[in-house]
Structure 1
Amino acid sequence: MDPDGLADVERVPHGGSDDRDLVDFSANTNPVRPAGVADVYEAALADATRYADGFDDFRAAAAEYVGRESDDVAHGTDRDDHGAHHGTDDAGCTADDVIPTAGGLAALRLAFGVTVSPGDRVLVPEPSFGEYAREIRLQGGDPVGVAHGELLDRDPADYAAAVVCNPNNPTGELRERDALDAFRTRCRAVGTPLVVDEAFLDFTDAPSLAGEPGAIVVRSLTKMFGLPGIRAGFAVAVGDLGDRLRTARPTWALSTPAAAVGTHCLRQTDFVERTRERVAGERTRMREALSERYAVAPSDAPFLLVDVGDERADPDAAVETVLARARDGGVAVRDARTFERLDSHVRVAVRRPHENDLLLDALLDR
């Protein structure tokens, strides 16, 4: 971290409502949690009287979860003693490639901490998660904003790193795998690490980039498993990038209860599949209904970006009207004007059917 840059770095606004009288659509966390979480947490307290490190079960569960547990013979790749890949670019994730962190944001800080030096430029998508720019500035770097739909076409040379959010937050679209692979290959050719935030990828059936050379993949348990306060996540990288992350990571990266709960959640495959099905169905229903009145972007994520402005209205007034209408209807939605390049948008999470009905009633005056 660059001490000289701290005075110029501000906090980033996020979703999440403290008003318990409102149904919160401003944060994209699953309102449902896997069965057994409380029991696992309580059982782990007995082991919390001693220091925990290694987290072998958590790392194994994480590697399996990203669906890329490597079969080097099948993939035709070999690894050296440091986990570097030789032969083909085809790769996979093993437990040794997983670096546990206290949530996805801690993984992002670690990723930028080992790639960005003061004065470095970093490619970041806009609009997207505001913490990318903040964390880069904390390292003394210069975040260079690029329209999110154009980032994969940029030349990554002369940048210390490039960032991709997949699916992108707040727009919701999933990147095409061929385009993402081509960009990673170009990044690797010029020595530019690719930081891939996959916080919402587990709501899709798309494969992770975890284990791919030249990439640092960041994952979180916050969104799918609805446990933002647990603070469990991980990064995945191989070769020199993996070595640097392992060297720089905090010695006690997770609490014992967080590691236990994380391991339990990462193994709940039926829960994940049920959540995907519910979100996909409800997202389609919500988009069709909201599109009767607003412009709603297509999404592969558990949220929708809604443009509530029109040619005749002041954008700020239009957003304020919708925010007030939502509150009056008992729901909270995310003011998306805090994202770069957005001025007339709100973002709404996809929750359970009866809750989504409340949102539709409020925003559509039903």
Structure 2
Amino acid sequence: MIVHPESIRTGDRVPHGGETDRDVLDFSANTNPYTPDGVEAVYERALEASRRYPDDDYHDFRTAAAAFVGCEPERVIPTPGGLAAIRLAMECSLEPDDEALIPYPSFGEYAREVRLQGASPRFVPHDELLAVDDGLLEDCQFAVVCTPNNPTGEATDPDALAAFAARCGEAETTLLVDEAFLGFTDLPSAARLEAEHVIVARSLTKLFGLPGLRAGFAVATGERRDALETARRAWSLGTPAARVGAHCLRQDAFVRETRERVERERERMHEALKRRFDVVPSDAPYLLCDVGDRSVDDVIASARENGVAIRDARTFRGIDSHVRVAVKDRERNDGLLAALGVLEADEGYGTDGGDDIDEGTRSE
């Protein structure tokens, strides 16, 4: 449903984190190092069921997703990952020559997906987006809010987001709220707004440690919901993704324990990393670090020599001296801190006080 063939010929791929060398600790991608108990058994049963096409209604998945974000099941649109939800929203909302308000620095795929529709991104600093003047808002047919923002990590205040959504409605601007990392917080989903011009995109794979499974969903209402449902690809989730996704979305204890661990470890890592870097406060499972006068290339190379991959944040628009590091569990985080030379000797490496492994299945 990409509407502008020329945009495909002139477009580029967007760099992402992710490390394929399994001997290297991967702190370049912001995924949970654990998965919920029972995932393997659910996947095994689903694999056998995959001899037939999935049930395209995805009733169980929709029900679990709706309970997770607090909406009615019929408002849930299953997609193969959060990025697929973003593309679907833009396919159904943008026309060639439209303009879209895009925050920066933020997820690079927003601008790419806008351009693939033949539309143009209008870049706004991420911390100024909600305060843009009415004239600019009225000029744009689409706007994106990422909460927590990637790579800076701060979550948007729900009341401020609701106020901005109301302004978007008055301007007849479609608002896409990307909540890929919101599950790591206890903040409410924008799905609660139930406004026809608001679309929510969610990713399961980061919170539940299964990025290769490709499961996510969009939430919409009214005619916008109907348009997304009509436009989504048939069998948009494979049977394993749908069944494992539904299982994960019901693991309340796992989600609660993950949030507590990430908050605890993020604070500890922030204190350690600020000995060497300027660290941006974060509500997300990652920290953005300004390396200052040091060479970003040297910091990345030095970490890798010590067995750790970190994200070159210069790939984000408007950033030229930063790296981004994920927040994992205590043992892995100590490996990162040691590789970056900020772990004090008396803090120990993998010492007592680490996270319990029984919170879920360790993802190796």
Shift in Å, 1:365: 5.6
Of 42, 58, 62, the match for 2:61? 58
Shift in Å, 1:364: 2.0
Letter in 2 for 1:308: V
Of 283, 286, 289, the match for 1:306? 289
Larger deviation, residues 57-66 vs 203-212: 203-212
Of 287, 304, 312, the match for 1:327? 304
Shift in Å, 1:7: 1.3
Deviations, residues 219-260 of structure 1 (Å, cap 9, x unaligned) = 011110011111110000001211111111111110011100
2:263 maps to 1:254: no
Partner of 2:320 in structure 1? Answer: 343
Shift in Å, 1:358: 1.0
Query: TM-score, with normalisation over the residues of structure 2?
Result: 0.90
CA contact (8 A) 2:272 2:342 kept: no
Partner of 2:331 in structure 1? Answer: 354
CA contact (8 A) 1:94 1:211 kept: no
CA contact (8 A) 1:195 1:216 kept: yes
Q: Which runs of 4+ in 1 moved over 4 A?
A: none
2:174 maps to 1:193: yes
- Return the alpha-carbon distance in structure 1 between the equivalents of residues 7 and 286 of structure 2: 34
Deviations, residues 6-54 of structure 1 (Å, cap 9, x unaligned) = 1111000000011222100000000100011111011012221222210
Deviations, residues 331-353 of structure 1 (Å, cap 9, x unaligned) = 00000000000000000000110
2:274 maps to 1:291: yes
Partner of 1:109 in structure 2? Answer: 87
- Return the alpha-carbon distance in structure 2 between the equivalents of residues 325 and 285 of structure 1: 22
Deviations, residues 42-90 of structure 1 (Å, cap 9, x unaligned) = 1012221222210000000000011x2xxxxxxxxxxxxxxxxxxxxxx
CA contact (8 A) 2:276 2:342 kept: no
Deviations, residues 289-311 of structure 1 (Å, cap 9, x unaligned) = 1111110000000000000023x
- Return the alpha-carbon distance in structure 1 between the equivalents of residues 329 and 226 of structure 2: 42
Query: TM-score, with normalisation over the residues of structure 1?
Result: 0.90
2:257 maps to 1:268: no
Partner of 1:167 in structure 2? Answer: 148
Shift in Å, 1:191: 1.1
Partner of 2:199 in structure 1? Answer: 216
Partner of 2:131 in structure 1? Answer: 153
**2:100 counterpart SS class:** strand
- Return the alpha-carbon distance in structure 2 between the equivalents of residues 299 and 192 of structure 1: 29
Of 2, 25, 28, the match for 1:26? 28
User: What's the C-alpha RMSD, in Å, of the aligned pairs?
Assistant: 1.0
CA contact (8 A) 2:184 2:258 kept: yes
CA contact (8 A) 2:273 2:342 kept: no
2:11 maps to 1:4: no
CA contact (8 A) 1:211 1:237 kept: no
- Return the alpha-carbon distance in structure 2 between the equivalents of residues 283 and 190 of structure 1: 38
- Return the alpha-carbon distance in structure 1 between the equivalents of residues 342 and 289 of structure 2: 16
Shift in Å, 1:4: 2.1
Partner of 1:80 in structure 2? Answer: none
Of 159, 181, 185, the match for 1:178? 159
Q: Which structure 2 segments of 5+ residues have no match?
A: 344-364
**1:223 counterpart SS class:** coil
Of 250, 263, 283, the match for 1:280? 263
Of 204, 227, 249, the match for 2:185? 204
Letter in 2 for 1:163: V
Deviations, residues 158-198 of structure 1 (Å, cap 9, x unaligned) = 21110000000000001112211111000011211100000
- Return the alpha-carbon distance in structure 2 between the equivalents of residues 211 and 362 of structure 1: 42
**1:217 counterpart SS class:** strand
Letter in 2 for 1:60: T
Letter in 1 for 2:320: D
Shift in Å, 1:211: 4.4
Of 75, 78, 103, the match for 1:97? 75
Identity level (%): 59
Instruction: Give the total of aligned pairs.
Output: 335
